[in-house]
Structure 1
Amino acid sequence: MSERLSVGDTAPDFALQDADGNEVALKSLRGKNVIVYFYPAAMTPGCTKQACDFRDSLDSLQAAGYAVLGISPDKPEKLAKFRDRDGVTFPLLSDPGKDVLTAYGAFGEKTMYGKKVTGVIRSTFVVDPDGKVAVAQYNVKATGHVAKLRRDLGL
């Protein structure tokens, strides 16, 4: 079970492949606010809803100075299909080894349909321009989460 991050912690750095196999590193976004969200699996109903909510809010998030990165254990090829099928316009990153998921406390024991299982914990973080965690939300809902995050950020 990985440790959960708290506001004020240094956000773990990472460099992961996007849907096209290009490397995206968190440190390359220093100086910006970055929303990093972790989701269990591309092309599933909840994850599609969440990605489309971020997609539909992207212009206003970017106008407010936020970049968005979605991370799952899916391989880049599946992420490319997901992106193309649903018109996702922000980077989807592949973490098949679950190293970044674990570093953020977004992989571990959770309850699903009343049973304890080990898997991806749907989580969202805001990393501030200095690389510190400004928001850490675990066990978020796929539906309505982006609207709640926008309210939390005063957007």
Structure 2
Amino acid sequence: MTRLEPGQPAPAWTLPTADGGELSLSDLAGRKVILYVYPAAMTPGCTTQACDFRDNLGVLERAGYAVVGISPDSPEKLARFAEKEGLTFPLVADESKEVLTAYGAYGEKQNYGRTVMGVIRSTFVIDEEGRVELARYNVKAKGHVQMLARQLGVELG
């Protein structure tokens, strides 16, 4: 299974968004990007994580980071999720799981002691030139934004 390492070029992508448009990694060139991968919109852990990013979005943006969430959900489900939780950062849909696979965020994982295929909750920080700055796999939903902020040297409010 692919695992991205710091210094590698981040795999390019163009995906549909919750608001009916499209977003490409290249649209964010010149900005630092936090791309976080979550298994399914409107589940407890994913809601906790998304709301954590939402609540700290201003601080992350002031520190120069754009936040993008990616899951295998449909754009319609992502739209409902964004509206229900008041999410103001882009959510992109990777229903084919091609991008998730390219980032090493889809594959075999442990779930209640069994090996299954699925989305691996992960976070990637991509620098202004499109290179992976940080790649974290199997992250926990709760407290993840605080841990990430510490690693990035960003002081949360």
Give the drift of 1:137. 0.1
TM-score (norm 2): 0.97
Distance in 1 (alpha carbons) for counterparts of 2:137 and 2:152: 16
| Structure 1: segments with no counterpart, 5+ residues | none
Aligned ranges for residues 6-21 of structure 1 at < 5 Å?
Answer: 6-21=5-20
- Number of corresponding residues: 154
Aligned-residue sequence identity (percent) comes to: 62
Report the secondary structure of 1:129's partner residue: coil
Number of the residue aligned with 1:39: 38
Amino acid at match of 2:149: R
Number of the residue aligned with 1:151: 150
Amino acid at match of 2:76: E
Question: Cα RMSD (Å) of the superposition?
Answer: 0.5
Report the secondary structure of 1:93's partner residue: strand
| Structure 2: segments with no counterpart, 5+ residues | none
Give the drift of 1:28. 1.1
Give the drift of 1:64. 0.4
Give the drift of 1:20. 1.8
Distance in 2 (alpha carbons) for counterparts of 1:114 and 1:90: 34
Report the secondary structure of 2:68's partner residue: strand
TM-score (norm 1): 0.98
Number of the residue aligned with 1:141: 140
Aligned ranges for residues 45-56 of structure 1 at < 5 Å?
Answer: 45-56=44-55
Amino acid at match of 2:65: Y
